[in-house]
Chains A and B, each alone.
Chain A
Amino acid sequence: MRTVAVIPAYNEADTVGSVIDGTAGHVDEVVVVDDGSTDGTPAVARDHGATVVEHTFNTGVGGAVRTGYRYAIEHGYDFVVQVDADGQHGPGQIPDLLAAAEDCDMVVGSRYRNESIEEYPFVRRAGIRFFTGVVNALGGVDVTDVTSGFRVYRVSMLRNILHKRDAHWAVEQTLDAARQGYRIREVSVEMPTRDTGESQFDLGTFLLYPLRMTDVVLRVVLFR
């Protein structure tokens, strides 16, 4: 069973090194997809032994993870572990996710199955809950944290659900997989809010969040 870790990164030079170090012991290869960083993230990633795929310009995390998925597909891996570069996802929990992936196609690390979700702002929690409810209702699944980026995918499934949009890929992919009948499981993971660097969740994201989410849900439900 060959496994690759995909770490999408944008200006995460301070944290990406330790994430790579923690992840490398659990997988066969660590791939950092640098999404147009200007702070030397690719150099740090290379120093820590990761394969680096560099985007020419920033497209957003959805574009970066899709590049990572394509790398996994083209290099014949069996599983992809997706880990954030900001240190929010504890690499120590990767074995739990991989173990759960043995008999399913997608494993989502959920903050809602432990207390770590309580650290998040109320509005964000409400948004996650709402769209998780929408995905559950439309996809006939029972997940608790549809926007989590800490995931494991079976690559054979990934070929069929490569998301098209760069925004809100997690919702798109989960809903698409659910509607195609793929097996989705969740594992409880601690995911504290980030304490260094700059969050990607800014005011613009917050204001556009409902519109973009609705766009993604309608696309999957009506046009696929």
Chain B
Amino acid sequence: MAEYTAVNLVAGVVGMGFLGTGYVLVRREREALGLFALSVVVGAGLLFVAVTPDSFDYIATFLGLEFKTHAILVVANLVLFALVTYLLYRIGRLYDRLSRLNEEVGLLKAEFEDGEE
């Protein structure tokens, strides 16, 4: 029988946090559905880890790793990689949009001033 520890509790709280934040951001129209999907994947993964303390044993066996700590390391790295890639993509896109907006505002202001004269 696997034992529940503080790690499971933290995983559960963080998982719920991910799900809740993703839901709230989409509900307030501040983010696209893609972010909610990402929150569901990460949040559900953390909740799964929270309720099944042996989960990393299964993952280690599945991946052919000797220790579950290795499985934790592999999964954590993969999740981090996915998150960082997604966030870099988002930052790049937002920067591009901001730059175009800056350009558009400048041109419109010039046109407006030209019309006033």
Contacts and interface: CB of A to CB of B under 8 A. Distances in A.
A63 B110 contact: no
Interface string A28-72: 000001000000000000000001111111010001001100110
Interface of B: 96, 98-99, 102-103, 105-107, 109-110, 114
A164 B96 contact: yes
A51 B114 CA distance: 9
Contact of B105 (A33, A56, A74, A164): A56
Given A53-B110, A54-B110, 17 more contacts: A51-B110, A52-B110, A53-B109, A54-B109, A55-B102, A55-B103, A55-B105, A55-B106, A56-B102, A56-B105, A56-B106, A59-B99, A59-B102, A67-B103, A67-B107, A70-B107, A74-B107
Closest 3 CB pairs of A and B: A53-B110, A67-B103, A53-B106
A33 B96 contact: no
Interface residues of A, number: 17
A190 interface: no
A58 to B, nearest CB: 9
B99 A166 contact: yes
A71 to B, nearest CB: 6
Contacts of A54: 106, 109-110
Binding site secondary structure of chain A: mixed
A70 B114 contact: no
Contacts of B102: 55-57, 59, 63, 67
Given A51-B114, A164-B96, A63 B103 contact: yes
Contacts of B106: 33, 53-56, 67
A166 B96 CA distance: 9
Contacts of B109: 53-54
A53 B99 CA distance: 14
Contacts of A57: 102
Contacts of B107: 53, 67, 70-71, 74
